[in-house]
Structure 1
Amino acid sequence: MSAATRSSSPFSKMAVLGIVLVGFLAFISLLYFLSAGDTGDQRNDGAAHASATGLNGYAGFVRLLEKENYDVTLSRTPGGLETTDLLILTPSLYADGEEIGRILNNRDYLGPTIVILPKWFANRPPRNLPGESAGEFKEGWVQLGGATQLAWTSELPGVFEFEHQIETLEETEAPNWSGIETAGELPTKTVAYAEENELHQPLITDGAGHTLALSVLGEEGSEYYEDAHWTIFVVEPDLVNNYGLARSENAEAALALVREAGYGGEYESVTIDMTLQGFGGADNLLTLAFRPPFLAATLCLILAMLIIGWRAFLRFGPAAVSGPEIAFGKKRLVSNGAGLIVRAKRLGLLAEPYADLSARRLSHRLGLTRPEPEAIDAALAARLPDEEPYSLRADRLREAQSPTEILRAAQALRELEGKLAK
């Protein structure tokens, strides 16, 4: 085997360090986005959620709350539904009423809740718009279709159940509303409202007395009435969505509803759920690795990786380059074969073949036609009368047990061959 040599590295230390740092930062970014559930830009999908900038979205509502110094969190994990902060739900048009009911029942003793009901069908702008018209649409904008009546509100459990209705006002009627010490006008004449329910308290009503926002009180004297946190339904989403917030009075109503749900401003932290709009996901293994009780093991693993990486980075000199492990040629082949036999501890298997090989070499040097032991002994007695016969040496080799005995017997045959060569 050839001696090891040193070859210069094709990369400098700074280049290797840069590659490692970029890879490490990319890995940390992957962990962050997976844990946050942010795997792509889905704001312009036509749905009504807290990241949507279209008419039916609530991105403006989020900015309004932040401007009012609320601590707003957009939750993309089911664990956000367990918060003790003020929770705002924005279910879809086709939500599961039983699922919403389970969430609301679980919230009774966790914290207050606001449910903003959907209303509009919305789509992305068509791709075949003329150039000038297409340029007027900003990222995230949508086209509103018709309003739809929700069926799942009647499937809500107990005190939360109500009938959802849609009404389009006449041309001469104004979509006015009033309540919670303010008044204003809706952006369209299509109004969503809830039918009256003795277990609910209207907070905002329109000119016809329809309930646009309500607080769930429950039956007076019941456990829910006495102990449960407040739940508010915003039945008319145009009060708080981007479409409605173009009017300042609607923005005042949106803030008033938040203060009402938060017991007059006691709650300064607001969590807006995104999972009901399909932005949620279960905890993944990478995220769990950075949470107790797995955090300790993860930190130890990272520390070990840093130590190994630093040791490799500061090693002495370039990497050693060695020759082939198995050299070419007959000598190397024989050496490797012998080494294999020695390692396998099968030296005894060589005794019989070596005795026969020695017989052929001796018969050749003695001028015999056949390597027969009797003929070799007779020829040796005539030529070297003082030497021990071949047959005795060969028998001693065949009967040897230990490696030392085998080597000594084989050496005796080899010495006999050497004397004949002189």
Structure 2
Amino acid sequence: MSDLVLGRRGAPRADPFRALTVALILLIGIFGFVGMLVMGAFAPDLRSGHNGGGHALSNSAIGFSGIVQLATATGRNGQVIRNEHQLDSEDLLVVTPDHGWDDLGPVLGNRNAKPTLVVFPKWETVADKDHEGWVKVAGLLMPFDPDHMFSPSVVFPVGRRRTGGQVMLQPTPDFSGGPAFRAPRVLQVITGVKPGENKKPPKLTPLLTDRHGGIVLAKYGDQPLYLLADPDLLSNAGIRDPRQAAAALAMLDWLNSTGATSIGFDVTMNGFGHSQSPLKLAFTPPFLAMTLTLAVVLALVGWHALGRFGPIRPRARAIAFGKAVLVENSAKLIRRAGRETDLGGRYVQVIRERAVATFGVPARLKDAALDAYLDKLSGRGAMRFSELARAAEATRDRASLVAAAQALHHWQKEKKG
């Protein structure tokens, strides 16, 4: 009910920490906690992808980060797609699976009639022990790896041909105005189509071939789905020649000739995808404004809690000492309960018991006989006790109750006097 002060009065208080030390500890803890939340929210986006793989985040020879940067630098707005919800864009999407057995269903299922380029894998690599994140080319993948890209529906047998790096690839009439590519030293081509579960597979339309008729770039079916048999036409090693880089951009422009303004490079198939999380949404627009507002509110609340003015005052008692306070609290409880008008009869009983003790009323008298005896004590012209009692018991409002109680009190006072 009251605050207790322990210890002697006037004893000096020993603070284990200074105020500045506590403030620094709190600031470091708050910034560390917020930093941990931000890093946890954006951790998937911060993965560099420098693992030497054949994807759009890789800087290795077989990677495709160069064409992404080149597309961005030339105004083609190259974008790395990490979220599956972004796969339904109208822009050209370049898909670079690591192996032929990778499931293309989740990606192609979102594309429908949108331009998509699937790049076949070609090289087998091993980690470079001398340089972290680097790889060494161990050789070509076994042919059954890339040729099963669309199995079991259909199989595209691939072949490898040595060209010496001087052979020019030939655009077909369906690839009118196609770029002039020089074939890589080891050219990977599609040599035909073998039906799998589909007895009548969709038509394969050659767009870019070598001089022996091997297909390097083709359109698969009636939808804008394109197959690139040799990844070196787009890889970092392949576009180090400015002419090859220009040809690669021209090819992407032709495939993206639907009025789109961007070129997407998918990395979800390479293990670098991520999905939205409530924590990340809190730190990205438009929810970032609400997060900052809440942070400011919490900071103001903390400042208000720390900025106390003057000494700490003990709390007042909930119930003060004294009979008057006790009576007042009891009256408030009765008033809040709405039982004031029911107290008239109880007050009559109190006055009756006092009159019995004061005036020496015989103990044998009860109820009506007692009231009749008390009525005889009243003088002529005065209110009789029974009438005052009935008036008090019949009250229905606070004013009538107060008037009846005062009348009974005056009756008792007059008889005593």
TM-score, length of structure 2 as denominator length: 0.60
Query: Residue 151 of structure 1 corresponds to which residue in structure 2?
Result: 148
Q: What is the rounded CA distance, in whole Å, between the counterparts of 1:254 and 1:87 in structure 2?
A: 18
- Point out where structure 1 has 5 or more consecutive residues left out of the alignment: 3-10, 126-132, 219-223
Structure 2, unaligned runs of 5 or more: 3-18, 170-179, 194-202
Match of 2:343 in 1: 350
Aligned sequence identity (%): 19
> Which of 397, 403, 409 is the aligned partner of 1:414?
409
Matched residue, 2:182: 182
Instruction: Report the equivalent of 2:117.
Output: 114
Partners in 2 of 1:363 and 1:263 — Cα distance?
117
Give the distance between the partners of 2:410 and 2:136, measured in 1 at CA: 102
The letter of the residue matching 1:49 is H
The amino acid of 1:248's aligned partner reads R
Q: 1:310 to 1:104 in 2, by over 3 A?
A: closer
SS at match of 1:262: helix
User: Which residue of structure 1 aligns with residue 262 of structure 2?
Assistant: 269
Alignment partner, residue 87 of structure 1? 93
Change (3 A) 1:74 1:357: farther
**Displacement of 1:262:** 1.1
For residues 134 and 164 of structure 2, the distance between their equivalents in structure 1, rounded to whole angstroms, comes to 27
Q: CA deviation at 1:406?
A: 2.0
The structure that has the greater radius of gyration is 2
Q: How many residue pairs get matched? A: 360
Structure 1 pair 287–233 and aligned structure 2 pair: CA distance change class (3 A): same
Letter in 1 for 2:388: R
**Structure 2 equivalent of residue 129 of structure 1:** none
Matches within 5 A, 1:299-378: 326-329=318-321, 332=325, 334-366=327-359, 374-375=369-370, 378=373
Alignment counterpart, residue 260 of structure 1, candidates 223, 245, 251:
251
SS at match of 2:94: strand
1:163 corresponds, among 150, 156, 169, to 156
Instruction: Specify which of 199, 211, 218 is matched with residue 215 of structure 1.
Output: 218
Q: Which amino acid aligns with 1:327?
A: I
Deviation of residue 56 (structure 1)?
5.0
Which residue of 395, 400, 415 maps to 1:400?
A: 395
Cα distance change on mapping 1:304 and 1:199 into 2, 3 Å: closer
TM-score (norm 1): 0.59
Over 3 Å counting, the alpha-carbon distance change for 1:350 and 1:48 in structure 2 is: farther
Q: CA separation in 2, counterparts of 1:143 and 1:391?
A: 118
Paired residues of 1:88 and 1:116 also in contact (CA < 8 A): yes
Pair 115,347 (structure 1): closer, same or farther in 2 beyond 3 Å: same
**Which of 100, 103, 106 is 1:96 aligned to?**
103
Separation (CA, whole Å) in 2 of partners of 1:68 and 1:394: 105
Cα deviation for residue 344 of structure 1 reads 3.8
Q: Residue 349 and residue 144 in structure 1: after superposition, are their counterparts in 2 closer, same or farther (change >3 A)?
A: farther
Higher relative contact order (CA 8 A, sep 6+): 1
Paired residues of 2:91 and 2:256 also in contact (CA < 8 A) = no
Distance (whole Å) between structure 2 residues aligned to residue 382 and residue 74 of structure 1: 108
Structure 1 stretch displaced more, 354-363 or 42-51: 42-51
Task: Give distance in 2, aligned partners of 1:284 and 1:252.
Answer: 46
Distance of aligned partners of 1:154 and 1:403 in 2 relative to their CA distance in 1, 3 Å threshold: same
RMSD over aligned Cα atoms: 5.7
Distance in 2 separating the partners of 1:322 and 1:144? 80
